[in-house]
Amino acid sequence: MTNLFLAITWNVDPVLFDFGFIKIHYYSLMWILAFVMGWYVMKKIMEIDRVDIKLLDPLFLYAFLGVIIGARLGELFYNFDHYLAKDWNVALLEIFLPIQENPDSSTLFGLLQGYEFSGFRGLASHGAALGFLLTAYLFNRKYLKRNLLWLLDRVAITVPLGGAAIRVGNFINSEIVGKQTDLPWAVKFVQQSSGYGEVVARHPAQLYEAICYVLIFFVIWHIYRKTNKKYQQGYIFGLFFVLLWCVRFFVEFFKEDQGDEFVAEALNIGLNNGQILSIPFILFGLIVMITSKNRMYKQEN
């Protein structure tokens, strides 16, 4: 039986400011914080590696577009039925714009009737990863013109801090909640979705993941600054993939299932969508990391 006396009650409104025509969510601010932290870490890396700082702004733009578009498309794996039930034009608007249907509202200063500004609340990390890989390739081909793994090794260092910020945003939103538990640090998410059932004490799985991501950042930052592994093309990138998606895989055991589990139901192997989608990323990371010893950069003097 859940120990309700020890559970922490979480009842924070996910909307920080409501101006009527637009709402500012904590979650949106966490995404902004993620990119700001990534910008500063990448700036430091470019200074260390003596790369033209002017490339930082276009890299930021490519990364932003790749992550946001990829994350929204990846959300289809979790809410496929939701979008399938809508007209195709409505579904596209909700996927690519931070809005949702509401017959009694309008947004964009009245230009869109029947919609309200909701912010991007459904952003799938698997889709974000694939979206960034594509835009990183395009950026490298146009601007950097180096081995793509050089760029991926360095950008990988910035990602865990951003991931931690976003999971804190999920916690504030009372979404991606954990399973029921009687642990003393359990949390009662008063504003959780009704789809999760009764409001009971749950694992703060979002914070488990956020803490692990911060630890991953320090591990790969140490490897980049203090070891020669950064001269192996793809080692840091591969290690990042292995660590991040292993964390995602194991934390899923403490989470409630998210949205439509049609991938998990189709395979029926006792894992959920998040775990199944993480496995290819872990294997890919292992291959890149193991084979990196055959790809060496020229070491700096």
Higher pLDDT, 28 or 42: 42
Task: Lowest mean pLDDT of 112-121, 172-181, 204-213, 289-298, name the range.
Answer: 112-121
d(CA 84, CA 107): 23
The pLDDT score that the predictor gives to residue 119 is 55
Rounded to whole angstroms, how far apart are CA atoms 256 and 201? 13
Query: With bands split at pLDDT 50, 70 and 90, how would you rate the model's confidence at 1?
Result: very low
Instruction: Check whether 202 has a pLDDT greater than 90.
Output: yes
What's the chain's average pLDDT?
83
| Poorest-pLDDT segment among 17-31, 133-147, 270-284 | 17-31
Q: How confident is the model at residue 47 (pLDDT cuts 50, 70, 90)?
A: very high
Reply yes or no on whether the pLDDT at 127 is more than 70. yes
User: Residue 84 class from Cβ within 10 Å (0-12 exposed, 13-18 middle, 19+ buried)?
Assistant: exposed
